[in-house]
């Protein structure tokens, strides 16, 4: 598995297994176990996914040594404060059945981000967290956090897919030493992405699926990719992207698909911020 080196020297498997919306406890546990069996060594969850306990069971029952796995979780909005991080990360560790977390992210750029970051820096020094970063932060917010604190975020997990390519933001993050990580690489199937003529044509040329083309497109940009499936055959397929390369023409064609806007919602929308602030999950 190809890895990406973070600004603190930690190496991350470039392909990660995402667990968003896998909420049934038995299904989530099985999916994580199946993903690890398929070859994934990077598992991504979050407090707000409400499946950390199931993810922990899947990891424990996988038979793969803990040190061979890279586990990410994220701090939800209501816990984004100094005390909130300290307390909620302990709960996350207990739910995941882990002694340390490989990557801890602030899930959304709201609440007391700076207090939360100071707590995360302390947890990193204590060895409870190997690397720290953010999710859904604009480049300016990520840089602001870096400039006024000791640790530069190691990762920014953002929406990146053929319809929301974020080329300039990706370049800007890399210039700051912050690795971009893609959530929703398949745009959750929006705009008929899996039957898109351009992506299908490219896939047919290499004997690959649309999903494999998208993953390869991201891998070639050194972007960490999170893909989700509950089907073992799809899990294996999504890992099988290291035996072909896209041409400049392929990439130019994919570039034409960019709509330059989120396929979901704007993180600067005041109503969305209010909704997230009101979503008390007690996690």
Catalytic residues: 49
- Burial environment of residue 16 by CB neighbours within 10 A (0 to 12, 13 to 18, 19 or more): buried
Over the stretch 115-127, which tens digit does the pLDDT of each residue have? Answer: 999 999 999 999 9
pTM: 0.96
User: Which distant-in-sequence residues (6+ apart) come within 8 Å of 200 by Cβ?
Assistant: 210
**pLDDT, position 234:** 96
pLDDT at position 279 is 84
The pLDDT tens digits of the residues spanning 184-213 come to 999 999 999 999 999 999 999 999 999 999
Instruction: Give the whole-angstrom CA distance, residue 154 versus residue 159.
Output: 17
Domain extents for the chain?
3-278
* Cα–Cα distance for residue pair 230/191, rounded to 1 Å: 22
pLDDT value, residue 103 = 98
Which residues in the chain show pLDDT less than 50? none
CATH 3.20.20.100: does it fit domain 3-278?
yes
Angle ∠(125,129,130) on CA atoms, nearest 5? 85
Q: CA torsion 55→59→60→66, rounded to 10°? A: -130
The model's pLDDT over 50-81, given as tens digits with 9 standing for 90+, comes to 999 999 999 999 999 999 999 999 999 999 99
Find, among 193, 224, 228, the residue nearest to 4 by Cα: 224
């Amino acid at each position: 598995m190809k890895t990406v080196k973070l600004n603190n020297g930690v190496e991350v498997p470039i392909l990660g297994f995402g667990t968003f919306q896998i909420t049934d406890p038995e299904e989530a546990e099985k999916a994580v176990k199946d993903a690890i069996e398929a070859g994934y060594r990077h598992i991504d969850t979050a407090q707000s996914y409400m499946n950390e306990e199931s993810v922990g069971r899947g990891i424990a029952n996988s038979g793969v040594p803990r040190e061979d796995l890279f586990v990410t979780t994220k701090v939800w909005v209501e816990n984004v404060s100094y005390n909130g991080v300290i307390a909620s990360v302990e709960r996350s560790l207990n739910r995941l059945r882990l002694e340390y977390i490989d990557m801890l992210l602030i899930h959304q750029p709201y609440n007391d981000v700076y207090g939360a970051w100071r707590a995360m820096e302390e947890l990193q020094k204590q060895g409870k967290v190997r690397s720290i970063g953010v999710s859904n932060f604009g480049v300016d917010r990520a840089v602001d956090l870096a400039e006024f604190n000791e640790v530069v975020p190691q990762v920014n997990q953002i929406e990146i897919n053929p319809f929301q390519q974020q080329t300039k933001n990706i370049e800007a993050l890399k210039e700051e030493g912050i690795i971009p990580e893609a959530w929703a690489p398949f745009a959750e199937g929006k705009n008929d992405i899996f039957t898109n003529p351009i992506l299908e044509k490219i896939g047919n040329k290499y004997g690959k699926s649309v999903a494999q083309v998208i993953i390869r497109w991201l891998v070639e940009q050194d972007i960490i990719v999170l893909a989700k499936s509950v089907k073992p055959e799809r899990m294996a397929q999504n890992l099988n992207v290291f035996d072909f390369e896209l041409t400049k023409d392929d990439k130019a064609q994919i570039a034409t698909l960019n709509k330059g806007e989120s396929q979901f919602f704007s993180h600067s929308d005041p109503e969305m911020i209010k909704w997230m602030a009101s979503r008390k999950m007690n996690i």
